[in-house]
Structure 1
Amino acid sequence: MYDCIEAIKQKRLKKINGETFLVSEKHILKARNGDEYVGLKLKDRSGIIDAKIWNNLLHLKDKFEAGDFVKITGESNYYNDNWQVIIKDLERVEEEDVDKKAFLPSTQKDISKLQSELLGLIDSVKHPGLKKLLEEIFTDEEFFERFSHAPAAKTMHHAYVGGLIEHTVSVGKLASQVALAYKDIDRDLLVSCALLHDIGKVYELDPMTFNYTTEGRLIGHIVIGYTIVHDKIKALGLLNREKEMLLLHCILAHHGEYEYGSPKKPKTKEAVLMNMIDMLDSRMQPVVDAKVDESSGWSDLIKIIGKAIYAPKKSKELL
């Protein structure tokens, strides 16, 4: 199954006979001539590929929904600079008959180690109110389990199982180090915001399809996270008003600009640093993990930075 999508992308596979995929998206669309068709995205842990159903719509279009597993018969073709699958027939597969993990990309890091690192960052916070706040949020077993296996994004960065905790730990460690490089930075405030800034993504993204939930579409992870933290502060009475405002502002401003979905622009030293650190990690992960052609040394286009990178294979000749 894993070879299927990889082979399609390498332009070798033409037919698909009985392979099983996760449907990450499904849309009923109309062609230029007015004919209805189904556009969808098929997924396994090796990647995502576009697919279409042109024929036999009455029989096929209501047999599955986004989030379902389907067994496909069809063939691939090359259209608009992309490979796609033209589906001739499909059958829905019951969830209990598949290994869900086999269909989802996952962090290459040890999630249990990431959990330990996150808890270690919490333990490093000296401010009693901030530390208690972090403990109350992350020691909730159900939440911590969901947080530890959630993706950090749909496609752009850390878009895989465990991506959210990987991104959060990376940002937290950067925050802890960068805070020492500049004067008058509240290290505990910066690290606390780093650990809390994306917690709303637990509810913004569906853990199977990585699509946006209704809550994610209508409210978004920044406001969801702000609400979680605000309500917890009020319930526990942990912070004075000044510290509360500084932390909440840091969360609200971490995307930096209004056009990036930020409710506020950064207006404190910690908020400015938080935005920069978050941007650094979210852009470097796709760059570091980019697949590079061994013969040319060039990667494919990296969407989040809008360009390819040159990274020739290391050899003695290059040293």
Structure 2
Amino acid sequence: MYDCIEAIKQRKLKKIEGETFLVSEKHILKARNGDEYVGLKLKDKTGIIDAKIWNNLLHLKDRFEAGDFVKIKGESNYYNDNWQVIIKDLERLDEKEVDKSAFLPSTKRDINKLQEELLGLIDSVKHTGLKKVLEEVFLKDDFLERFSKAPAAKTMHHAYVGGLIEHTVSVGKIASELAKDYDGVDRDLLVSCALLHDIGKVYELDATTFNYTTEGKLIGHIIIGYTIVQNVIERLNVLSQEKKLNLLHCILAHHGEYEYGSPKKPKTREAVLINMIDMMDSRMQPVLDAKIDDSTGWSEMIKIIGKSIYAPKKAPKELL
């Protein structure tokens, strides 16, 4: 149930006869000849796929909006290194007809185990002030529950329920290990930065559609997270000015470059390292999760790295 997209990408489904999808995005666009068409992104528990409505626009384009669940008739095709769905007809569904928990893509990891690992990383921080900040952020009210259900991104990486905690724990564990090998790196500060760098995504992304919220569009997760941590630091008053500035700088600089939405470039050892770890984990997860064509051994285009990868299930003899 709700696994149509994976079947399409594995060349196991050509005709789509009443399958259910979540409309993640909807745009009225114009083709090169000036004709209107509808461009969509559809989602089910196995991923996301582009879709288009070319014909019967007057009848179809106003029957649904982004965030709706729809039942679709159409067919799939492969275009520009990506699969897409050409929609012939659709029906908007009442949300009560859809099991949302079974529909949305989710982490393959055990959420309870990820929470244990996150709490273990917090407990490993020896600096009293940093640990108090972490506990205040993650353990107050229902934040950990919301954090554990949030996606880490809309489409690029860890774009599924539980993706944010999975990504955060991964970055935290890598940071903890790498700190042992780099003299001059503050391990407690590095791990704290790793755990806090993306907390703003709880408010930046809608946990059902994975679309950006108004707060996410207008402010963004970096500034949202910075503000949360700054307020906690000021309220608790447990960090020196130096430690406070270093922690907040890591959050502001974790995207590395201005063109990637980073308000600041990394200018401390910890900020440089967090940027590198964050980049590595955010790019490696889509590579590991890429759907491989059984007949060719090649994946579909992986957008975050801009290329396909070769990973046959059975390696050629010369590679063994």
Alignment TM-score, normalising by the size of structure 2 = 0.91
Residue matched to 2:18 = 18
Structure 1 residue matching 2:72: 3-state secondary structure: strand
Q: Does 1:306 align with 2:303?
A: no
In the TM superposition, residue 254 of structure 1 has moved relative to its aligned partner by: 1.0
Residue matched to 1:239 = 239
How far, CA to CA, are the matches of 1:282 and 1:83 in structure 2?
23
How far, CA to CA, are the matches of 1:297 and 1:57 in structure 2?
38
How far, CA to CA, are the matches of 2:197 and 2:291 in structure 1?
29
In the TM superposition, 1:36-55 aligns within 5 A as 36-55=36-55
How far, CA to CA, are the matches of 1:207 and 1:235 in structure 2?
29
Structure 1 alignment gaps of length 5 or more: none
Q: Does 1:5 align with 2:5?
A: yes
In the TM superposition, residue 316 of structure 1 has moved relative to its aligned partner by: 11
Quickly say closer, same or farther: Cα 1:84–1:148, change in 2 above 3 A.
same
Q: Bigger shift: 285-294 or 171-180?
A: 285-294
Quickly say closer, same or farther: Cα 1:3–1:134, change in 2 above 3 A.
closer
In the TM superposition, residue 103 of structure 1 has moved relative to its aligned partner by: 2.4
How far, CA to CA, are the matches of 1:79 and 1:314 in structure 2?
27
Residue matched to 1:156 = 156
* RMSD after superposition: 2.3
Contact 1:44 1:102 in 2 (8 A): no
How far, CA to CA, are the matches of 2:288 and 2:256 in structure 1?
23
How far, CA to CA, are the matches of 2:195 and 2:264 in structure 1?
19
In the TM superposition, residue 137 of structure 1 has moved relative to its aligned partner by: 0.8
Residue matched to 1:203 = 203
In the TM superposition, residue 289 of structure 1 has moved relative to its aligned partner by: 2.5
In the TM superposition, residue 283 of structure 1 has moved relative to its aligned partner by: 1.8
Contact 1:297 1:311 in 2 (8 A): yes
Quickly say closer, same or farther: Cα 1:293–1:14, change in 2 above 3 A.
closer
In the TM superposition, 1:249-264 aligns within 5 A as 249-264=249-264
Structure 2 residue matching 1:169: 3-state secondary structure: helix
Residue matched to 1:220 = 220
Residue matched to 1:114 = 114
Quickly say closer, same or farther: Cα 1:116–1:141, change in 2 above 3 A.
farther
User: For each residue in 1:186-237, what CA deviation from the matched residue of structure 2 results, as whole angstroms up to 9, or x when unmatched?
Assistant: 1111110000000011111121222222222221111111011011111222
Residue matched to 2:131 = 131
Alignment TM-score, normalising by the size of structure 1 = 0.91
How far, CA to CA, are the matches of 1:238 and 1:82 in structure 2?
51
Q: Bigger shift: 226-235 or 209-218?
A: 209-218
Quickly say closer, same or farther: Cα 1:68–1:185, change in 2 above 3 A.
same
Q: Does 1:61 align with 2:61?
A: yes
Residue matched to 1:180 = 180
Letter in 2 for 1:106: S
Structure 1 segments, 4+ long, off by >6 Å, are: none
In the TM superposition, residue 56 of structure 1 has moved relative to its aligned partner by: 3.8
> Aligned pairs, how many?
319
Letter in 1 for 2:17: N
User: For each residue in 1:11-54, what CA deviation from the matched residue of structure 2 results, as whole angstroms up to 9, or x when unmatched?
Assistant: 45443222211111111223344333322122111222222233
Percent identity of paired positions between Structure 1 and Structure 2: 81
In the TM superposition, residue 81 of structure 1 has moved relative to its aligned partner by: 4.9
Structure 1 residue matching 2:102: 3-state secondary structure: helix
In the TM superposition, residue 292 of structure 1 has moved relative to its aligned partner by: 3.5
Structure 2 alignment gaps of length 5 or more: none
Structure 1 residue matching 2:180: 3-state secondary structure: coil
Quickly say closer, same or farther: Cα 1:293–1:86, change in 2 above 3 A.
closer
Structure 2 residue matching 1:51: 3-state secondary structure: strand
How far, CA to CA, are the matches of 2:124 and 2:231 in structure 1?
24
